[in-house]
């Protein structure tokens, strides 16, 4: 674990969290408050209820409106905002405002495979553009001149659950052949991001991946059993270089299977019953 930088003053520093009301961001905000840090959340819409010690700054990273004002007085930024489209541009607007504010550390959450996914064709971009956007945002931050830390994580349990939920609405579930996933707990990622935010800039740190690699069909069957549904699963091929990289494991990090919370445990908590995949 890294030692917190400027430890004697760190509790007086307000930390800006983008995407602070999202799946990951809200967990980061909660953990920063547990660590007695002052937090400012940057977002387009204020949360329904306030949290003690948390400010809200209305700003839009897509248009840039309000970002410079939101950054005023900030020294550390945890950039969790991401939508899969326009992330590179959002990072650029964030960095421009951060330079003006004198920010001394940007912590960014990226995705495993961002550096290994050749998104070239229109088909690649339509299916795997998220990876290209994350890679672009990484470049913007690393070339900004601002000290930075970047963490790549595998897919969150929440995202895998949401995709399975959508697929289960169809009469037949279509899954790519040889597709594998390594889901990780968003809370464990939040823990690591907070540790990094309270430490010195470290560049690209080791990946954070879930404890087990699953075939996509295993994950889907576990979801179906947990929710009491029955759907046939049909495996299909995918075209394109990005698909080949994905099916070859570009989205996995087997050497960094350091997460502890399993997909089975997540399902049991979300659905309310113990399941075995």
Residue among 191, 193, 161, 182 nearest 262 (CA)? 182
Establish if 197 belongs to a structural domain: yes
Segments of the chain assigned E as strands: 14-18, 38-43, 54-58, 76-79, 105-111, 148-153, 173-176, 180-181, 203-204, 214-215, 233-236
Establish if 2 belongs to a structural domain: no
pLDDT at 48: 60
pLDDT at 49: 63
Q: Please state the rounded mean pLDDT for residues 102-118.
A: 94
Percent of the chain's residues with pLDDT above 70: 93
Establish if 1 belongs to a structural domain: no
Establish if 155 belongs to a structural domain: yes
Establish if 261 belongs to a structural domain: yes
SS3 77: strand
Q: Please state the rounded mean pLDDT for residues 94-115.
A: 96
Task: State the total domains in the chain.
Answer: 1
Q: What are 55-92's pLDDT values in tens digits?
A: 999 999 999 999 999 999 999 999 999 877 789 999 99
Report the distance separating Cα 97 and Cα 160, nearest Å: 33
Establish if 4 belongs to a structural domain: no
Report the distance separating Cα 212 and Cα 95, nearest Å: 35
Establish if 213 belongs to a structural domain: yes
Can you give the CATH number for the domain in which 96 is found?
A: 3.40.50.720
State which residues form the domain around 119.
10-271
What is residue 168's DSSP assignment? Answer: T
Establish if 112 belongs to a structural domain: yes
| Contact predicate 151/111, CB 8 Å | no
pTM of the model: 0.91
């Amino acid at each position: 674990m890294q030692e917190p930088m400027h430890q004697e003053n760190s509790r007086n520093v307000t930390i800006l969290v983008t995407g602070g009301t999202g799946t990951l961001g809200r967990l980061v905000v909660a953990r920063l408050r547990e660590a007695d840090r002052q937090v400012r959340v940057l977002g387009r819409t204020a949360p329904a209820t306030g949290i003690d010690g948390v400010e809200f700054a209305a700003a839009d990273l897509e248009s840039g409106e309000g970002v410079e004002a939101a950054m005023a007085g900030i020294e550390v930024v945890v950039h969790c905002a991401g939508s899969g489209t326009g992330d590179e541009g959002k990072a650029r607007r964030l960095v421009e405002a951060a330079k003006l504010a004198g920010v001394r550390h940007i912590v960014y959450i990226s995705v495993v495979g961002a550096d290994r996914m050749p998104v070239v064709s229109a088909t690649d971009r339509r299916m795997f553009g998220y990876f290209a956007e994350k890679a672009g945002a990484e470049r913007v931050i690393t070339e900004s001149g601002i000290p930075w830390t970047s963490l790549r994580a595998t897919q969150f349990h929440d995202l895998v659950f949401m995709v399975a939920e959508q697929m289960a609405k169809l009469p037949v579930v279509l899954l790519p052949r040889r597709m594998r996933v390594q889901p990780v707990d968003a809370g464990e990622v939040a823990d690591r991001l907070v540790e990094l935010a309270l430490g010195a800039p470290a560049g690209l740190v080791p990946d954070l991946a879930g404890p087990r690699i699953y075939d996509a069909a295993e994950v889907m069957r576990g979801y179906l059993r947990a929710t009491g549904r029955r759907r046939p699963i049909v495996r299909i091929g995918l075209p394109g270089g990005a698909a080949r990289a994905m099916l070859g494991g570009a989205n996995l990090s087997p050497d960094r299977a350091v997460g502890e919370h399993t997909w089975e445990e997540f399902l049991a908590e979300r659905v309310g019953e113990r399941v075995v995949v």
